[in-house]
Structure 1
Amino acid sequence: MSIRKLTESDLEAVSALCISAFMAAVAPSLSPQGVATFTQIAAPDSFAKRMAGDNLILVFVQENQVRGVIELKEGRHVAMLFVDPQQQSRGIGRQLVAAALAHARSEVVTVSASLTSVAAYERYGFSRAGEISESAGLVYQPMTITLSA
């Protein structure tokens, strides 16, 4: 197993993993607008555009298969974190968070956590920071983690 930067050859697999995990865990609680918004964000071409920008996207690879992904936007915001539903509760999310936070360029890192992922982020050391909100149909809990220097 390894954690490495996303490559163009990973785009289809990462998109499929994110959409699969999202549909299983998050989509049932959202409006059709929220599902459509996420599907657009997780499309391969959307990942490619963000990969070319100031977003660090890391993948967890095991047995030549992408098993997880994390995206750190502008070195200060976790924009995506998904683990293959068949591979959850094996420490992949924790390893991805640690790897991404090692690249943080801010003392405080934020995440807009889906409501189903709040407990996981709390286990990773994040704290709730504000009220539950909604944007383009996506419902989320703002959370932060303060990194030690």
Structure 2
Amino acid sequence: MHIRQLTYDDLPSASTLCLDAFMQAVAPSLSAQGVDTFAKVAAAQAFAERMEGDNLTLVCVADGALTGLIEFKEGRHVAMLFVAPGWQRRGIGTRLMNAALAQAREAVVTVRASLSSVAAYERYGFVLAGDVGEFAGLVYQPMEKQLP
């Protein structure tokens, strides 16, 4: 199992991983608009476009397959973190989070956590940072983590 940067060859697998995990854990609590919004964000082409900007996307590879992904925006914001459903609870999320936080360029890292992932982010050391919000059907809890 190792962590490395996302490549263009990974895009179809990365999109599938994120959509599979999202559909299982997050989609049941959202409106059709929220599911549609996320599908656009997680499309392979959308990942490709964000790779051209100031986003670091790291993947975990195990047994020759992508098992997890974190997207870290501008060295200060976790834009998404997903672990493939069959690979959860094996430390992949923690490894991805630690690898991303090692690249932080600010003293405070933020995330807009899906409501179903708040407990996981709390385990990573994030705390609530405001009221639940909604954007284009995606419901989220603002959270932040102070870095040492």
After TM superposition, give the deviation of residue 103 of structure 1 in Å. Answer: 0.3
Match of 1:108 in 2: 108
- Hey, what's the Cα distance between the residues in 1 that align with 2:47 and 2:68? 14
Give the secondary structure class of the aligned counterpart of 1:118. helix
Alignment of 1:7-46 (within 5 A): 7-46=7-46
Give the secondary structure class of the aligned counterpart of 1:143. strand
Identify unmatched segments of 5+ residues in structure 2.
none
The residue type paired with residue 5 of structure 1 is Q
Q: Are 1:119 and 2:119 counterparts?
A: yes
What percentage of aligned pairs have identical amino acids? 64
Match of 1:49 in 2: 49
After TM superposition, give the deviation of residue 64 of structure 1 in Å. Answer: 1.1
- Hey, what's the Cα distance between the residues in 1 that align with 2:23 and 2:108? 30
Match of 1:146 in 2: 146
TM-score w.r.t. the length of structure 1 is 0.99
Alignment: residue pair count: 148
- Hey, what's the Cα distance between the residues in 2 that align with 1:112 and 1:76? 12
- Hey, what's the Cα distance between the residues in 2 that align with 1:139 and 1:5? 28
Flag as ranges the 4+ runs of structure 1 deviating above 2 A.
none
- Hey, what's the Cα distance between the residues in 2 that align with 1:123 and 1:80? 16
The alignment's C-alpha RMSD in Å is 0.4
Q: Are 1:98 and 2:108 counterparts?
A: no
- Hey, what's the Cα distance between the residues in 1 that align with 2:109 and 2:31? 28
Give the secondary structure class of the aligned counterpart of 1:36. helix
The residue type paired with residue 98 of structure 1 is N
| Offset from partner CA, 1:76-95 (integer Å, 9 cap, x none) | 00001000011101100000
